[in-house]
Structure 1
């Protein structure tokens, strides 16, 4: 049977979702030294990715998402192990079972496998939504601070540095935004989104 391979693949996929490089904002690798032209007056640049990833709250969110992903992996691993053990028990006892009994146990196991697949898919979606909401919360906290820094630095234009190959660091306001964000918030409580509960709630309305 391919139950173990299937279950393990689903568990790994869910766990990898929250730990993938694109799941949370990452610090950019150090760039080689280059000579820049003069800073352009009124033009500011900022890296949204680095502002989130370099902030205390952003690092907290990443750690919390990893904790939640580990919890999901443990939950799925337990069910995967039970399904695998049952599959092995069915195969081991096949000789002592009638065809009807064997078919019944395999059919029951398939029901469990299907339910496991649905749960793994649901957990994957829940992790994705949890990540999106957590990052959105950081963005909401950061938005007024970006405007504040924009005005303090007398910027006439603010460009996303993540879309630029190179820019003069004198025009970069990322560090100022991170400092302001750290002073405003360092963490907030959140848990895995429960999409199955939301669906039940919607049906009862």
Structure 2
């Protein structure tokens, strides 16, 4: 009886001790580094660059206006100086709002890009999971520690490129 109980315990213990294949991946990065991601990102990058150039021009104009006001400060009447300073502050607030709006638009463009690429990336990841017989795949940013061998981001980029 003792041997029988020991055998059952050993079988239960052996079946519970299985190797778990775990990998980490930076899915977003893999999508953006892939060929289809690079191609799809061209238009959003151009839009962001245009918005950035427009913002820089507005900031340069504001700086020039501030320098002009500083230069003319002693020659302007107090009322005119206050008026121009208020206009300058209003312009500065508009530029801040413009910058915030542009950041929001850039983030939305990136989210749309990721969303459009996700199905292809998921298909490539699923095939990689099946091929490597992975039990668990974690987002790289959520893991505290992972060896380089457990990071499959580069493999995922190659698989996306191969499949598309």
TM class by smaller structure: 0.5 to 0.7
- 1:160 aligns with one of 114, 130, 138: 138
Q: Distance in 1 between matches of 2:136 and 2:100?
A: 40
Q: Tell me the TM-score normalised to structure 1 length.
A: 0.55
- 1:43 corresponds to: 21
The count of corresponding residues between Structure 1 and Structure 2 is: 143
CA distance in 2, matches of 1:53, 1:83: 35
TM-score (norm 2): 0.66
Q: CA deviation at 1:71?
A: 2.4
After the TM superposition, which residues 1-205 of structure 1 pair with which residues of structure 2 at under 5 Å, given as runs? 43=21, 45=23, 47-49=25-27, 51-52=30-31, 54-60=33-39, 66-151=45-130, 153=131, 155=133, 157-160=135-138, 162=140, 163=143, 164-166=145-147, 175=155, 177-185=156-164
**Displacement of 1:43 after TM fit?**
3.0
CA deviation after TM superposition for structure 1 residue 113, in Å: 1.0
Higher RCO by CA contacts (8 Å cutoff, separation 6 or greater) = 2
Cα distance in structure 2, aligned partners of 1:110 and 1:167: 51
Matches of 1:65 and 1:80, distance apart in 2: 22
Q: If each structure's helix is expressed as a fraction of its own residues, which one has the higher value?
A: 2
Larger radius of gyration between Structure 1 and Structure 2: 2
Distance 1:98 1:72, change over 3 A: same
Unaligned segments of structure 2, at least 5 residues: 1-17
In structure 1, stretches of 5+ residues that fail to align are 1-39, 186-205
